[in-house]
Amino acid sequence: GENVEQHPSTLSVQEGDSAVIKCTYSDSASNYFPWYKQELGKRPQLIIDIRSNVGEKKDQRIAVTLNKTAKHFSLHITETQPEDSAVYFCALLGGATNKLIFGTGTLLAVQP
């Protein structure tokens, strides 16, 4: 079945630095790629998403890029702040189903 690999599993950065999380996938029919943020003890929440007809999308300090040829997509966070500390999950929607496949998550720690 469809699979998505997420790297790194943990990431520690200094406040103000950038953070990049990358996910790779195998199903070329995947057409929707969301990113979810899960703060400690909370539920996952959508922070940004991108569809397959777009190469990049930006929302303030957060951006997502998609390379359909290489089958990978990445989350970029600039000017990181302590409140960005959380677990981030990439996901994709495969083929004709409404089934979201999640990555294994990245624990981002922003050191003040």
Integer CA distances (angstroms), 76 to 8, 28, 73, in order? 13, 23, 10
Interface with another protein, residue 45, by CB under 8 A: yes
If binding is defined by CB under 8 A, does position 21 make contact with another protein? Answer: no
Q: How far apart are CA 14 and CA 17, in angstroms?
A: 6
Is residue 49 a contact point for another protein (CB under 8 A)?
yes
CA–CA gap between residue 105 and residue 108 (Å, rounded): 9
The smaller minimum CB distance to another protein, of residues 9 and 12, is found at 9
Q: Which residues bind another protein (CB under 8 A)?
A: 1, 6, 9, 32, 34, 42-46, 49, 89, 93, 98-100, 102-105
